[in-house]
Amino acid sequence: MIMKDLTAIGLKVMRVEAVTGHEGRDDDGAIYLLGDDAENVNKECLCNFLASKMVPVVAVTCSDQRDSSPLFDLDDLAFDVGKCLKANKIIVLTADDCIADFTGSEYSVTEARAMAEERSVLSGRVSRLLGKAAEACEELVERVHVLDGLRDYAILAELFSNEGVGLMVHRDPYGQIRQAKNSDVSEILSIIRGAVMESELLPRHSADILSCLEDYFILEIDGNVVGTVAVHSSDAFSELACLFVKRNHEGAGHGKRLVDHAEGIAE
């Protein structure tokens, strides 16, 4: 299924045996890879494939004293390989529906750590994934995506849509707030259209925004405008206006970030 997702957008994909290890058990009986993480990953092999613009799908070569095939913690492997390659994104595909209730959710490192500790309301698997994702983001990874590996085209839907279909943990903060440009005007009008129709925001036209474009700021994530705010200032006071965050990005703290930014401009 992974290969189908990647080849669907024209990528060259090959199965590669680039991870080796031996059986071992911790105090709880969980099976894991022995030795230093970096020693288990053939970094040179993977980098050569990537340099050749090929996507390596990593397979595991393992051995033990009984010459059997032990089970490995694939979650650990995903994070170990990603950190070894100094990846800016790690995508973990699950083989169950443990994240069914988290579709489209995104959390900061702080939020992920807090949720991981709430074991009473989360499954052990989700708590563990959130904890490891937060740890990876604290080290060097920008984002971790956890997806339902049984869903068709899950990777494409997660990476190439604004909403996403899985669970994402990101560094603090995620996305950038910048001053709006001429090319952003149509996108600003597009995202606030629904709020204007519902009388939540005052109507605005291109000419209105262009006449005071320097007052407008946008929150941009992966090249997509997901929120906007304007600060109209005079000698006497400053007015916050046109505050809006896309519906499918609500609840992630983006509105507060825009307000904080606006207050900083107004001071």
DSSP-assigned states of every residue in the chain: -HHHHHHTTT-EEEEEEEEEEE--B-TT--B---S-HHHHB-HHHHHHHHHTTEEEEEEEEEE-TT-------HHHHHHHHHHHTT-SEEEEEESSSTTGGGTTEEEEHHHHHHHHT-TTTS-HHHHHHHHHHHHHHHHT-SEEEEEETTSTTHHHHHHSSSS-SSEEEEPSS-SEEEE--GGGHHHHHHHHHHHHHTTSS----HHHHHTTGGGEEEEEETTEEEEEEEEEE-SS-EEEEEEEE-GGGTTSSHHHHHHHHHHHHH-
Predicted structure pTM score = 0.61
175 vs 233: which has the higher pLDDT? 233
Q: Flag the least confident range among 101-105, 162-166, 184-188.
A: 162-166
Mean pLDDT for the stretch of residues 102-115: 82
Examine the fold and report which residue of 128, 144, 170 is the final residue of a domain before the chain moves on: 170
Task: State whether 33 and 149 are in the same domain.
Answer: yes
Q: What is the CATH number of the domain that holds 204?
A: 3.40.630.30
Are residue 164 and residue 180 in the same domain, yes or no?
Answer: no
Lowest mean pLDDT among 38-47, 68-77, 79-88, 122-131: 68-77
201 with 127, same domain?
A: no
Does one domain contain both 234 and 118? no
Q: What is the CATH number of the domain that holds 14?
A: 3.40.1160.10
Average of per-residue pLDDT across 241-259: 85
- Residue-wise pLDDT for 36-70, tens only, equals 444 567 888 888 888 888 888 876 665 554 444 44
pLDDT at 92 over 60: yes
- What is the domain count for the chain? 2
Same domain, 57 and 114: yes
In angstroms, the CA 28 to CA 235 distance is 66
Q: What is the pLDDT of residue 61?
A: 60
Q: Are residues 180 and 166 in the same domain?
A: no
Q: Are residues 223 and 147 in the same domain?
A: no
User: Do 164 and 192 fall within a single domain?
Assistant: no
Question: 142-146, 173-177, 202-206, 228-232: which has the minimum mean pLDDT?
Answer: 173-177
Q: Where is the domain boundary, 119, 145, 170?
A: 170
Is residue 36 within 8 A of residue 94, CB to CB? The reply is no
* Same domain, residue pair 60 and 144: yes
**Domain assignment of residue 233, given as a range:** 176-266
Q: Which of 152, 170, 188 is the last residue of a domain?
A: 170
Are 182 and 158 found together in one domain?
A: no
Do 67 and 159 belong together in one domain? yes
100 and 116, same structural domain? yes
